[in-house]
Chain A
Amino acid sequence: MYRYIFKRMIFTAITLFAVFALTFFLMNVIPGGTSEMILKHTFIGLEESATQEQMVQVSARYNLNDPLYIQFIDWLKRGIFEGDLGMSFVYHKPVLDLLLLRLPATIILALSSMFIAVVGGVSLGIYAALKENKTADHLLRFLTLFGVSMPGFWVALVLILIFSVYLKMVPVAGYGSIENLVLPAFALSIHSLASIMRITRTSMLETLGQDYIKFATAKGLPVNRIISRHALKNAMLPVVTVLGFQMGAMLGGSVIIETVFAWPGIGSLLVNSIFARDLYVVQACIIVIVFLFLIVNFIVDLVYIYLDPRIRYG
């Protein structure tokens, strides 16, 4: 098992490295890429009048004349050992500071959405499985179809319309209190909630058909006990598998939801920076999001091994 964990760590590291490289080269190769932007922001509005000599000076200062791979290695070194991810062209602050400032908001939003999605999805899924083919089950399945099909930003807008504009229960946008968190977290969770509910229902039905559950029922154990003691742990395996995927979807969805609610997280920072062509920030945001995604998947794998002792990876 430790060998498997070790292998997974190596793979995560390789993927991260590849993502670093891909982002770095992409940012440099595209027209209007990093080097061009550095020159542009150094001589704001004065590119025309800047002498060739000044251009060369700036290029030398930022090592723009080195071959790309050397620039990449330098950038990696600075990033890893000095935490220097460059300066934001727009905010005139180190990118790392911006990220650290914004990261908590995204993590709070993602975790609370995940909490809603898991608690809601698993309990509704179990409920639907117990009521298989009854009205409640049909209704819930119909609703999940909507849950996975509605665009997140639309759900967000409709929620704002109902709860902020008409009912005036919560503020439209903002950050800082639990009231502000409710709508974004709920809007972001709907898609995952529906997916998790679906998977829980299917997997619960499968588990409930097993012999050991029939035996437990025959023994006369109460339903609650059968579910909590015997069925739940086994039924959770497929749910755990999709969690990693759902977390990824959530990180992606947060980009849009954060923009709708003006939530000061990594997602809205990414969107704004893309529009402003603030390349160092874009680069850093992508890396943070992919990093979070890979780490979550790694953790999910570990949980999976813990939940299912039958799995022994070589």
Chain B
Amino acid sequence: MIGLEITCLQNKSSVFSLKKDGIAGKILNRKDITISILLLALLFVVAISYPLLDFSDPNTIDLTNKNLAPSAENPLGTDYLGRDILNRLAAGTTTSLSIAAGVSAISLFVGIFIGCISGYYGGIIDETFSRIIDIFLSFPGIVFALTIMGFLGSGVINLILALSIVHWAKYARLMRGQVLSIKENEYVLSAKIIGAGNFHIMRKHLIPNSVATVIVLATIDIGHVILSIAALNFLGIGLPSDIPEWGAMLSAGKEFMRTSPYQTIFPGMAITMVVIIFSIIGEGLRDILDPNDTGGEYL
């Protein structure tokens, strides 16, 4: 019996390592993914080091220098309160990336957990969870998040919570589908026969074998999360105004669009760039993991 378990493990680990070698090579072969990963690494460095390094406070108000065009002093100009736009964009990187990371972590955890249980147990449990997932997916995401924020009020935790409530269902549905197909495999059956517990099977077989697909979806989805964060803040309902955020910068800048369009244009470019980076990485990883999957963009 122990022998069986070991063979299963060996098989799995060899498949896994083969895949891993393949992935690293294939990523390096694709120029777009490599460049995106490098850019993302750079963004992470900015996001992590920004709060640690002693830059001038992005909230410093200087009314004598407001609405300036880009210059040597302020490379991207200043906003309507004379705050340096580049400085605030860099600080906004920290905001967007950390909130997006929080949302992804929570919704991945909940989605994987519920999807796994639902797919593995089947029957009435599956029916119940599937209906709940369907209901959550029948709200257009941004409307749902907006309403929740409307009642929770602004704040970092509330924003992470609202967006997680919106996003978990997608992962749960994908995870459920994965588990449904994986649980028919013989190694799961063998594990059951040698008396492995349900929890053990989920932890050792089902989750490790299906998590890659879900994480790929999550990578593509981080872009959407960042767009949602920006959209909510643009509507004025996301974060308190002392936290620099791209969507809020855009929203404040739009009043001065005629005279100083930089306040509107640069934050939008920052958002677009980050979203593009995440979609190139996510979609590239998907192509590499599953070459047969063509164009099923949101499904």
Contacts and interface: CB of A to CB of B under 8 A. Distances in A.
Nearest to B258: A165
Contact of B235 (A19, A201, A271): A271
Contact of B234 (A26, A202, A248, A256): A256
Contacts of A85: none
A149 B264 CA distance: 16
Contact of B138 (A146, A282, A293): A293
B242 interface: no
Interface stretch (A44-52, A66-74, A155-163, A302-310): A155-163
Given A202-B295, A206-B294, A286 B143 contact: yes
Contacts of B140: 248-249, 251-252, 289-290, 293
Given A259-B235, A282-B147, A151 B134 contact: no
B22 interface: no
A15 B298 contact: no
Interface of A: prevailing SS: helix
A284 to B, nearest CB: 12
Interface residues of A, number: 54
A203 interface: yes
B143 A289 contact: yes
Contacts of B267: 154
Interface string B249-291: 0100010011001001101100110011001100000000000
Interface residues of B, number: 43
Contact of B257 (A11, A161, A289): A161
Contacts of B135: 15, 18-19, 22
Interface stretch (A174-182, A211-219, A225-233, A237-245): A237-245
Interface in B183-227: 223, 227
B89 interface: no
A109 interface: no
Interface string B143-169: 100110011000000000000000000
A290 B142 contact: no
Given A249-B140, A253-B142, A165 B234 contact: no
Nearest to A153: B234
B143 A252 contact: yes
B92 interface: no
B62 to A, nearest CB: 25
A202 B299 CA distance: 14
Given A198-B297, A274-B147, A19 B257 contact: no
A189 interface: no
A95 interface: no
A38 interface: no
A290 B235 contact: no
Given A149-B223, A151-B247, A153-B234, A19 B138 contact: yes
A241 B299 contact: yes
Given A165-B258, A255-B143, A259-B235, A151 B227 contact: yes
Nearest to A274: B150
Contacts of B235: 256, 259, 271
A161 B258 CA distance: 7
Interface string B227-255: 10011001111000000000100100010
B265 A245 contact: no
B264 to A, nearest CB: 5
A153 B268 CA distance: 9
A145 interface: yes
A67 B47 CA distance: 49
11 contacts: A32-B151, A146-B272, A150-B272, A151-B271, A154-B267, A157-B250, A161-B257, A201-B295, A245-B298, A248-B140, A297-B138
Smallest CB-CB A-B distances: 6 pairs: A202-B295, A154-B268, A252-B140, A274-B150, A149-B275, A252-B142
Interface of B: 131, 134-135, 138-143, 146-147, 150-151, 223, 227, 230-231, 234-237, 247, 250, 254, 257-258, 261, 264-265, 267-268, 271-272, 275-276, 279-280, 294-299
Given A158-B268, A195-B298, 6 more contacts: A14-B131, A149-B223, A151-B268, A201-B295, A256-B234, A256-B235
